[in-house]
A and B are shown apart, each in its own frame.
Chain A
Amino acid sequence: MKAKKVLALMLAGAMVLSMAACGDEGGNSSAPENSGAENSGEASGGSEELIKTDVAESDNDEELDYTYGEGVTFHSNEPVTYSMMYSDHENYPYQESWRLWSAIEEKTNVTFDLTIIARTDYEDKKSVLVNSGDSPYIIPKTYSEGQYVNGGQVVAISDWVQYMPNYQKCVKDWGIDQYLKVQLQANGKYYKLPGIWEVAGGGYAYMIRKDVWEAAGVDITELEKTWTYDDFYEACKKVKEYTGCDYVISDYSKGDCLLNIVAASYGVAAGWGFGTLKFDHEKLEYYYPDTTDNMKEYLTFLNKLVKEGILDPESFSQDDDTARAKFFNGESFVMTANYQQLSDYTPNVQANFPDAELYMALVPGGPAGFPQMENSKLENGIMIAQKALDELGEDEFIKMLRFVDWLWYSPEGQMLSLWGVEGETYTMEGDTVKLDPGITYNGLNAGAEKKLNVDFGFGGGMFAYGGSSWLKTSKMSEGERDFNNRIFEYRNERPIDPPYMPTEEESEELNLISTPLGDTTKTWIQKFIVGQADIETQWEEYKAELEGLGLQSYLDRVNEIFQKNKALLGY
């Protein structure tokens, strides 16, 4: 009995302690938030525009111990070292001896103190390091920064971009402000320097077995220019008749990639793209795309594919390897993919069918027109740790930002990250980059002994993700360039939805409704497609269930928040 009492006391004590700890946390987290709100008030009061593109100069430019600026190479007189997280890719593992490091040092006098993390675990470790306040100064390869904003451990970078001339030039010249708005947090600031491309492009599409399709009598290169999903269906039927296969399409990613691609042409949201409300650019309000008539049409279409043995219902449950195996073994003839996957899969298919030819077919059009899949010019980006500002002081901090500015946003820095050192790894022939014949990269100079990323460190995913459209196409193989050109020629840009910028409390409140709403919608989508639910008879039931979960009040709340913030966004 005594022991039990002691235990009970201990448990109670532990609970009290943990509650106290939680209380503390709440107290702390509110502090930066408040200050953020104040600052945002100042910012929005002082200036009209949220995304500024002006460039500030230091008062004492002549006295600086480094050079910087548009068209100027960043160079520090004294050697400096900046700490940085490094996402290590297993196919080109980090090496200290890479030319990349020495080339950066030669040009800028900067070396890195790296925290090396396997790319697959990068997010987890980043979260630990940032949240424990132990993060390196530069935090690249950040896809989603939202979770770090309220912790106060990363710098609101929009307060500092005026010190980054090359970055500001990219934003201004390439019309990036509308994309940056999407990154704005409730306080009207953004926390991540994104990788910036001059043009969007690429993205997912249908990878098909062109040899089989042509044998089945489908002239895909002509058809794809203007085909709609009805044409797609007819074509798949021909392929099915010709091959006698069980299913023409068997997809991976639990169907999410396919659902997302088809959804774009129908103007709805599903699969990878699920979870976003759509914005009506005429009425200037958000709506729920998955209860519209387009959604009904979308589901009816996919259900027809399943019913007629074109789409494998296992696409929604099988693991990725199984889906790939079916494609490699000639059991299916269509998969969704991006261009890299096409070059990766070709040898696997040709191992079984030497004459096989893979082709990236453009995504068919639908009720929402002929959209390009990729509608953002932004890539993952760089966060800067608050620790850097605290430890370096303002002047040194700005110096570091100008180094970041040079390496990631100046044409010179981008060229170095991607192609390396002129005269060593590449030469210029007029306007064309000529990779050294002894080096291979991205399918260029196939068979050469050395690899640009493995042996030299250039062209990796850490630094080389942004630049002009010239730079973007410079690394493409013939086939990929062709694919890109087709997208730009025959498909249209999709408009970007503005953010509604909820505060932390507001987004928590909204999550309470949106989570069950999303789960229910996803379940119904799957049921409708594989035929467990009947679209004609149960459509109203589906809508009623979503209403019951608070769909309308959710929408009202979102639109209310948007109304509050829309002036900021320039509506």
Chain B
Amino acid sequence: MAKKDSAVSMSGVKVKKSTGYKIFIVVNTLIMIGVVFFTLYPFIYLVAQSFSSERAIYAGEVSFYPVEFTTKTYEVILSKPDFFIYYKNTIVYAVLGTLISLFGSAILAYPLSKQRLVLNKFFTPFVVFTMFFAGGMIPSYVLIAQALHMRDTMWAIIIPGAISTYNVLIMKSFFAGLPGELEEAASIDGMNAYGIFAKIIIPLSKPVLASMFLFYIVGIWNNWWGPFLYLDTKAKWPVALYLRQIIMGATGTQEIGVASEEASQIAANVRSCCMVLTAAPIICVYPFVQKYFVQGMMIGSVKG
């Protein structure tokens, strides 16, 4: 019987599934649900915690949904005087920074992808070298803050890390994989290198640009170290730095000898609120670039 079941109907209209295949489907589905659950659970837990009362969290009653629903912590965080200034700063840094990064990486990756580039044997390792060696914190600080006078400006956040070598290499492989005939055809028609790059290469590279966009924007969005190091004025802080201050303050050991009547008022769920507030906007970006993202990753990684 089993054999008959598994026989494929010659008409091709209906394919009968074998028992083994059915079992596979069921098991596979279960495993995938499990994977989804384990991936999503931390988020669900965070969201639930962020809306629960502190008592319930300490008592360990929160798992999937908020217990003793409250929005107190959100109110406290959102009512801080400068919260929206920080958010605006983050958006400015992220958008501007991502555009500069994308532009910079693309115009660096494109020539590197051409074998005929003079001294390419030198330039590519030269770029790769920076992936493994860096100047260290104090020299970088002296360079950026003192020599380049970027201290306390948003450029200190955007410019020094604008080009990520790793991303450049992915882009380089992608560009190298585009058919050279297109460029030849264009140049025969009289287009110069800049025209080819802008009108042929860029439109064809949407997948890789989309993934790079995502990499860069998430990177800048979550970056607190650069702002922490270079920004002295509080009004220039991005939201990540501000939320970090709240989280660290709520979880760190309490200051001795200083009155801190508010200290533990929001300690337990403050972490989750902060994470939800930081992660939510950037998660919203994902669906829009996801299809390019998957393509871009695959293409960039296989060829090269």
Contact = CB atoms under 8 A, between A and B. Distances in A.
Interface of A: 3, 6-7, 10, 14, 88-91, 93-95, 114-121, 124-125, 128, 131-134, 202, 253, 320-321, 324-325, 328-329, 338, 340-341, 343-345, 348, 351-352, 379, 440-443, 453, 459-461, 465, 475
B228 A125 contact: yes
Contact of B254 (A95, A341, A441, A459): A341
Nearest to A321: B268
Contact of B258 (A93, A132, A348, A461): A461
Contact of B241 (A14, A118, A338): A118
A14 B130 CA distance: 12
Contacts of B253: 253, 320
A6 B124 CA distance: 13
Contacts of B254: 338, 340-341, 344
Interface of B: 54-55, 58-60, 80-82, 121, 125, 129, 133, 137-138, 141-142, 145-146, 151, 228-229, 232-234, 241, 244-246, 248-264, 267-268
B81 A95 contact: yes
Nearest to B255: A461
Contacts of A461: 255, 257-258
Given A134-B145, A344-B263, A94 B232 contact: no
Contacts of A465: 257-258
B229 A128 contact: yes
Contacts of B258: 89, 340, 460-461, 465
Nearest to A131: B138
A95 B268 CA distance: 26
A252 to B, nearest CB: 9
A395 to B, nearest CB: 27
Given A10-B129, A93-B81, A344-B260, A120 B245 contact: yes
Contact of A120 (B59, B142, B252): B252
A87 to B, nearest CB: 10
A507 to B, nearest CB: 22
B259 A453 contact: yes
8 contacts: A90-B248, A120-B248, A321-B251, A325-B58, A325-B59, A340-B256, A344-B263, A442-B259
Given A321-B268, A325-B58, A442 B261 contact: yes
Contacts of B267: 321
Given A340-B259, A352-B59, A461-B258, A118 B248 contact: yes
A134 to B, nearest CB: 6
B27 to A, nearest CB: 37
Nearest to A129: B141
Contacts of B256: 338, 340
Given A202-B257, A328-B58, A352-B55, 18 more contacts: A89-B258, A116-B232, A118-B248, A118-B249, A120-B252, A128-B138, A131-B138, A134-B141, A134-B145, A134-B151, A320-B253, A325-B58, A325-B59, A329-B59, A338-B256, A340-B259, A345-B264, A461-B255
Nearest to B270: A90
A124 B228 CA distance: 10
